[in-house]
Structure 1
Amino acid sequence: MDYEPLGGRCKSPPEVASWGPDRLDVFVLGMESALFHKAWDGHAWWPSPTDWEPLGGLCASPPRACSWGPDRLDVFVLGMESALFHKAWDGHAWRPSPTDWEPLGGLCASPPSVVSWGPNRIDVFVLGMDSGLYHKAWDGTSWWPSPTDWEPLGGLCASPPSVVSWGPDRIDVFVLGMDSGLYHKAWDGHAWWPSPTDWEPLGGLCASPPKAVSWGPGRIDVFVLGMDSGLYHKAWDGHAWWPSVTGWEPLGGTLSTLREGVMVAPLPLPQAARDIQPTSTGFHGRA
């Protein structure tokens, strides 16, 4: 199987975002821990198939990127002091500058997880040093609760959060607990459910952080590795968890890693299922 070479000398896995048809934006850390970027514009890779745009920084985590509309990109990293930093493409230029970053505070124990449920909206989640979940949001005008403060959402988390949105004003967050079970909370447009600091237990004995994806309103699919290194799945169908609140569908395999979920066309759910059983820049444009 052949691959297209895209150059660079990369220190982190790639992070990819899209803001419209025929558009891909790719971000990596270079060996000096700065951020680098390249984009597919529908015709060619920019700045070239093997060159990269330097975006500065001294980054302590892989980048996380999202888009809330055409020609908009928001990128987040942790700095060396474990605080969160942000930069954005506004359709004309990088803000606050091509190599500067906006400080967003915090003392973070995990890379950020980001999601957008609509234009001008970004929600960011991290683990704090107390293993609790923390949240902040851009509402189109300002960061809430403030540029450097965070909303505590409780928990004692053993994995970074996986976050997903299936519609306006909706967010679902998944983490592993200290018992290796999956836990969930949701923003329903008015409040955090089951409460700002409580979590819904979803069972399992998980050997990897969860990966969640949505392919439409009211639909969520979550994947984890079990202790047998097999892949397991559960789904929210808009009314209930399938195959049950604490049950999981086994998907087989002997896997060493769990990659991001990919949105696909909906398929009917199979019938057979069971629980998981305890058993600065310096590369001159090249990343």
Structure 2
Amino acid sequence: MLLLLVVLCFGQSALSLPPPAQKFHQEPRASKVDWNAPRPGHGGFLAKRSGLHSAEFFSDPPRPLLSTAAVDHAPQDSDPWTQKRATSGRWENLNGSAAWYQAPVSWGGSRMDLYQMGKADKRCQHKSWGSSSASNNNNNNNNNKWTSWEDLGGTFASAPAACSRKKDNNHVFGSGTDGQCWHRTYNSGAWGAWQAMGGAVQHPPSACSWGKDHAAVYVSSATDGQCWHRRYDEPPASSKTAPSWGAWEGLGGYLDGPPKAVTWGPDHTSIFCKGQDGQVWHKPYGINTTTTTTTTTTTTTTTTSKSAWGEWEALGGSLDGTPAACAWDGRMDVLAKGSDGACWHKTYKNTTTAVTAWNATAQANQTTVTTLPKWGSWENLGGKLKDGTPPDVVAVDGRMEVYITGDDSAMYRKTWQNDKWSAGWEAMGGSVDSKPNAVAWDGGKVDVFGTGADGSCKRCFS
């Protein structure tokens, strides 16, 4: 009897233990398929098909939303559990009803816009904070106050994406329930109509702008997993060419999730994604190499710019979800939830090598210094992320902030500044079910958003 009791107790204890974490594979691995091989045709991405929504259907007149009252600055979340756990972060309940995570964007100054997909009707919802230089009937000229949630129409299959090219401008993208990409523009206080962009899209899109004359959207193909993109270019005012969207361009790859596009400035974009082999992949546009040659009498500096797409490169890792990334000050950082549940980090920055050799022609030693971007090794930042919630990252004013949703549904922050990480993860409190989504705005402030268990939008600020 005693032996049976011991066996039963041992069995119960063993079953109650968490399963062992999977190892995070840091080294890049050879793919079974060639990510950079040209593909004939379009793989079905541009194929004509029936059942597509019309612009009239997608731009159905706005409907009244629940919880539409405007919210004044910084009322605290009424959830006592949220307040009980809050430490470094202050929380605000923006209400609404979201099915996915939010897409925050700022065009600078004290203006911030927020987009989400409605939980019940799948329509695009919008809320803004701060002033616009032009007002309209949608109450966009609000000073130091949140607007009501605004119904922008549409019928989405996943979370929207947004970017801003300049002041008083937003581009909003979404994957429609008809499978194609849809787009709507806000310019100088007025919304344009929804525009069907075509394609066969799987997963949420990613939007990116490197300046006032450029915007682009990146998607994952529902037919063959390839990454596709369309770019918008606005010619100089002196040009007679009208601004327009280019055609879809296939960028190759075999994606298992949405792409993430980032930029550190004009003529640079980098795409990150989780590949179908589980590791992180990266594709750059516009990377520079600088070489400086010095002799006893002269110094010559040559910068080689590649204003074209580079090849996909495997960065290693074993991911559980979509990678996050940021580009700033000539460097890039990619963050991911590993298969072990921890947050992992990898950095791309310039590295300098110097080679000195005798130059017979100049009869002097010649030193050649080459500055070449290079990826570092994966770094384990720790943490225990909630299932289905990859991290997010934002860089501003010489610092980088990483946010995660912990397995206790609270939000946590880790900061890189002055070439070092903050000690441990800083508890921000809160109670959210979604991944965090951060935005830098208003002179270096960072706000983070997440979706509560009831679908309401939660804002964290400090």
Deviation at 1:7, TM superposition (A): 2.4
Aligned residues: 254
Distance in 2, matches of 1:120 and 1:240, equals 27
Structure 1 CA distance, aligned partners of 2:93 and 2:257? 33
Separation in 2, partners of 1:67, 1:173: 18
1:237-278 Cα shifts (integer Å, max 9, x gaps): 1333343xxx3011111212223212142435569xxxxxxx
Whether the 8 Å CA contact 2:342–2:385 is kept in 1: the answer is yes
CA distance in 2, matches of 1:19, 1:237: 26
Output the CA distance in 1 between the equivalents of 2:191 and 2:270.
29
| Aligned positions of 1:165-244 closer than 5 A | 165-188=263-286, 190-194=307-311, 199-216=312-329, 218-238=330-350, 239-243=372-376
More helix by share: 2
Q: What is the one-letter code of the residue matched to 1:255? A: L
Distance in 2 between the 1:112 and 1:226 partners?
22
Determine if the alignment matches structure 1 residue 93 to structure 2 residue 190.
yes
Deviation readout 1:70-93 (Å, 9 max, x if unpaired):
010110011111101111110131
- Counterpart mapping for 1:38-49 below 5 A: 38-41=127-130, 43-47=143-147
Q: Deviation digits for residues 177-227 of structure 1, max 9, x if unmatched?
A: 222111111111521102xxxx111111222211001222x2111001222
Which residue, out of 107, 128, 141, partners 1:19? 107
Counterpart in 2 of 1:139? Answer: 233
Map Cα deviations across residues 142-178 of structure 1 (whole Å, 9 max, x no partner).
1112xxxx11111111121111001101000111222
Equivalent-residue separation in structure 2 for 1:15 and 1:184 (angstroms): 22
Give the secondary-structure state (helix, strand or coil) at the position aligned to 1:6: strand
Q: CA separation in 2, counterparts of 1:113 and 1:215?
A: 18
Q: Which of 204, 207, 211 is 1:111 aligned to? A: 204
Separation in structure 2 between the aligned mates of residue 193 and residue 57 of structure 1, nearest angstrom: 35
CA contact (8 A) 2:320 2:390 kept: no
Counterpart of 2:123? 34
Gapped regions of structure 1 (runs ≥ 5): 272-285
Q: Indicate whether 1:154 and 2:252 are aligned.
A: yes
Q: Secondary structure at the match of 1:240?
A: strand
What residue is the counterpart of 1:280 in the other structure? none
Aligned partner letter, 2:380: P
- The residue that corresponds to 2:11 in the other structure is none
How far does the alpha carbon of each residue in 1:109-138 deviate from its partner, in whole angstroms, 9 at most, with x for none? 121111001112111111112001111101
CA distance in 1, matches of 2:419, 2:278: 25
Equivalence for 2:353: none
Q: With structure 1 as the length reference, what TM-score do the two structures score? A: 0.83
Letter in 2 for 1:260: D
Mapped to 1, the partners of 2:383 and 2:95 lie a distance apart of: 32
Residues of 2 paired with 1:233 and 1:5: CA distance? 31
Match of 1:262?
394
SS across alignment from 1:168:
coil
More strand by share: 2
Cα RMSD for the two superposed structures = 2.0
Letter in 2 for 1:63: P
Distance in 1 between residues matched to 2:95 and 2:339, nearest whole Å: 37
Confirm or deny: 8 A CA contact 2:335 2:392 kept in the other structure: no
- Aligned residue type for 2:373: A
Go from structure 1 to structure 2 and tell me whether the alpha carbon gap of 1:56 and 1:13 turns closer, same or farther (over 3 Å shift).
same
Q: Percent identity?
A: 36
* One-letter amino acid of the counterpart of residue 181, structure 1: Q
Cα distance in 2 for partners of 1:219, 1:11 equals 34
CA contact (8 A) 1:38 1:45 kept: no
Match 2:378 to one of 245, 248, 265? 248
Amino acid at match of 1:62: A
Residue of structure 1 in register with 2:216 after alignment: 123
Note if 1:8 corresponds to 2:8.
no
Conserved? CA contact 2:335–2:391, under 8 Å? no
Q: What is the identity, as a one-letter code, of the residue corresponding to 2:214?
A: R
